[in-house]
Structure 1
Amino acid sequence: MKQIGAIIRQGPRHWAIIQQENGFGNIALSGTWAMREEDEFNAAQVYVRVVGEEDGREVLAWQPAAMQPGRAWSITLHAIAQGGLYRLETCLQLDGNPALEWAVRGDMVHHIGVGDLWVIAGQSNAAGYGKGPFRDAPELGIHLLRNNGEWDLASHPFNESTASIHYENREWANPGHSPFLAFGKLLRKEVGVPVGLLQTALGGSPLKAWSPDEDGVLYRNMMSIIQSAGGKVRGILWYQGCSDCTPADSSSYLERFGSAVRHWRRELNDASLPVLTVQLNRCTDAPTEDADRSWGRVREAQRQAALAIPDVHVVPALDCPLSDGIHNSPAGNMIIGERMGKAALAHVYGRAAVHAEAPCLASAAFAETEGLPGIRLRFANVSGYLLAIGPVSPVFSVEDRDGEIAVDGWQITGRSEITLKLARAAEGDTLVHGAYRMNPSSFLPLDSGTYMPILAFYGQPVA
């Protein structure tokens, strides 16, 4: 049987989140209208309104659509206040009947919000491979654009490929738990607006897949998905780097990541688009010297990117538990999601009271300790004071022109200062590293104010 009334052909789908700008969002709709052949009338007019999904209160009164040839119609609803969840309702008025509550039926779109869209990009820990039971239930107001092209209530696993229309980021295996529902819950609670998540990550993907300077296949897929959601987003959540832990790729990671960020911002016409990143967690594979140094270089590039590129921020993960040799467990993902959420609150939403920075090495200088050669490390972004969980743990390493210098121990010598004791005096140019290996010490110095560990560093010259 043929449908009658107002029919929506294009516009947001159920559960969609519309990106707000300055606290308001716009919604474009278009469609057709129809009546039975036996119905008699002289004129028809489509109307559209917005109501609260929870209580039915009228948010935007009935608005007349532009009527077009071929029984088509279109309308753009302007200045819808951020919030929701909302319901879009349409109806068909015949012959100017003012009682719109009795107009001919129309299509509706349920559970939509005006809030912020965040893109999830990177490799498997962004796609979410946490295995095992967890308590991280769906929550109204945190929605996900699934790989089938339809919006849904966000629930794990995010990057599952049922009826996928995006083969570019289809996972080989079923993914699991990810950090980003926890991220969305924190923002929803603190900022009070709906959060939409666009999943574009792919396990094992190298950086070159995300840059049009190189392969660019996932860059193009990401931009296509963003355009399908309206073309504007609040920021990008980036967790990637394991696949670039080779001598060649790690050495160029910082430069290539900076180029990728510039392309993302240019394509999205947002020169200050926030990019929240995660410094790589550990990998428990059998280490080699090349692998250790490659992981160190990528972690250092991630630290340097946050220092050198405006509106790029990094959170640590080295203290987070794993569910296999390289993937964060659900417990680890909950920690990372909260850290990324706090980074967004501090740097994107202007919450000055939120301390979201991990201790970051600021300087390294030679210093005597108890009459023996040593190195004094000073850290920025310490909100409380540095706290040693395992002061005998081999966190730091030093090398000079003659090779590695044994670190006989280290101790915290100030609120934001650590002093290393060296087995011998350094000769010539000297470098210090912290937690740089594939699987470094599990007992890193912590900030007592946030209980975040220091960011790993590699190749810091000693003054």
Structure 2
Amino acid sequence: MLLFPVLSRRLFIALLLLAAPMFAQPAPHPAKENFHLFLLIGQSNMAGRGTVTPDDKVPHPRVVMLNKAGEWVPAVDPMHFDKPIAGVGLGRTFGLAVAKATPGITVGLIPCAVGGSPIDTWKPGVRYDATKTHPWDDALIRAERALQAGTLKGILWHQGESDSTPELSPSYEAKLHELIARLRATLGTPNVPFIAGQMGRFADAPWNEHRVRVDQAQHDLPKKVAKTAYVSAEGLNHKGDKVHFDADAYRTLGQRYADAYLALMRAK
């Protein structure tokens, strides 16, 4: 007489287990025009190398990211997957700030940074041997997938350390301008904002003339390329290696990127 109730309970538990992954996903995406997408590209300081804390794992219902498998999941750190040492970066704080300032939209972050990648590797068909990846091609595949669900609203760029050499720094500005034009043309977004962040300028790690030249190219973007912004990294600390920001610095940098983006939107 008890067989049926026992089977029913077992069936009920089985169905709950099958359904569990659905409950772990973020809320359903809004209409395409309200799903605001941001492409996160560059090298390791975009990917993030900060120490992850429990607070960095707390999801927000309106801030999601495209994971390595191409699935929309809650945006928690580490967001990037370029190297096993990926940690806290600027992207999550940026997304939280934009979501807070823009009620009614969902922020979709598309992490695509590749640690160590020079700007020359961000071209079609170019392979970056250090990570055995194609930074440009891989990013475009992910961006096109994301654009099926939402609308591209911004491109965040943090890169330059690998180009701060005597051989590469003189041509950096021309390459940066060309990258912006190519991204906008390829993605069909001629007016999408492009925001570049300053490399770490730490008191115990003086810059040489080549890093100064790369920084100047980024600093001058708003004067030379429409709908661009430059984010200062002044006053931020490194994690001990004189190259990568610490976790608090990444969070501050993310807020600065958000402030720059929102200022561009207000100007528009």
**TM-score bin (small chain):** 0.7 to 0.9
Aligned residue for 1:334, secondary structure, equals: helix
Distance change >3 Å, CA 310–CA 17, structure 1 → 2? farther
Look up the match of 1:344: 261
Deviations, residues 21-49 of structure 1 (Å, cap 9, x unaligned): xxx53xxxxxxxxxxxxxxxxxxxxxxxx
2:146 alignment partner AA: A
Choose which of 67, 73, 80 in structure 2 pairs with 1:146: 67
Cα deviation, residue 212, structure 1: 3.3
Question: Please, which of 116, 129, 135 is the counterpart of residue 204 of structure 1?
Answer: 116
> Contact 1:17/1:194 (CA < 8 Å) preserved in 2?
no
- In 1, distance between residues paired with 2:223 and 2:125? 23
Contact persistence 2:231–2:257 (CA under 8 A): yes
Quick check: which one's helix share is greater?
2
Provide the residue aligned with 2:209 in structure 1: 293
Structure number having the greater strand percentage = 1
Q: Which residue pairs with 1:223 in the alignment? A: 140
Contact preservation (8 Å) 1:144, 1:197: yes
SS in 2 for 1:272: coil
Secondary structure at the aligned position of 1:336 is classed as: helix
**In 2: Cα distance, 1:219 partner to 1:16 partner:** 30
Pairing partner for 2:47 from 110, 124, 127:
127
Separation (CA, whole Å) in 1 of partners of 2:28 and 2:111? 14
1:404-434 Cα deviation digits (max 9, x unpaired): xxxxxxxxxxxxxxxxxxxxxxxxxxxxxxx
Question: Which amino acid in structure 1 is aligned with residue 72 of structure 2?
Answer: W
Per-residue CA deviation, residues 61-84 of structure 1 (Å, 9 max, x unaligned), is: xxxxxxxxxxxxxxxxxxxxx6xx
Cα pair 2:126 2:135 within 8 Å, conserved: no
Q: How many residues align?
A: 234
Q: How does 1:242-261 map to 2 (within 5 A)?
A: 242-261=161-180
1:117 to 15, 23, 37: 37
Deviation at 1:285, TM superposition (A): 8.2
Give distance in 1, aligned partners of 2:62 and 2:109: 11
Question: Is 1:327 matched up with 2:244?
Answer: yes
Aligned counterparts of 2:90 and 2:135: Cα–Cα separation in 1:
20
1:220 maps to amino acid: D
Any conservation in 2 of the 1:186–1:338 contact (CA below 8 Å)? Answer: yes
1:319 alignment partner, SS class:
coil
* Structure 2 Cα separation of the partners of residues 237 and 264 of structure 1: 12
Query: How far does residue 131 in structure 1 lie from its aligned partner after superposition?
Result: 2.5
Moved over 4 A (4+): 213-216, 283-287
Pairing of 1:402-441 with structure 2 (within 5 A): none
The residue type paired with residue 237 of structure 2 is: P
**1:274-307, Cα deviation, whole Å (9 max, x unpaired):** 11110111268876xxx60111101111111222
Deviation at 1:16, TM superposition (A): 8.1
**Structure 1 CA distance for aligned equivalents of residues 174 and 141 of structure 2:** 25
C-alpha distance after superposition, 1:303-342 (max 9, x if no partner) = 1122201111111003111113211111101111111111
RMSD: 2.4
Pairwise CA distance, 1:264: 0.4
1:351 Cα deviation (Å)?
6.6
Task: Select which of 77, 99, 102 maps to 1:188.
Answer: 99
Bigger relative CO (Cα 8 Å, ≥ 6 apart)? 2
- Gap runs ≥5 in structure 1: 1-13, 26-81, 83-113, 161-169, 353-463
Structure 2: segments with no counterpart, 5+ residues: 1-24, 129-133
In structure 2, do the counterparts of structure 1 residues 115 and 176 end up closer, same or farther at CA, with 3 Å as the change threshold?
Answer: same
Q: TM-score, normalised by structure 1?
A: 0.47
Q: CA deviation at 1:140?
A: 1.3
Question: Counterparts of 1:134 and 1:308 in 2: how far apart (Å)?
Answer: 41
TM-score, length-scaled by structure 2: 0.80
Q: Distance in 2 between matches of 1:286 and 1:118?
A: 31
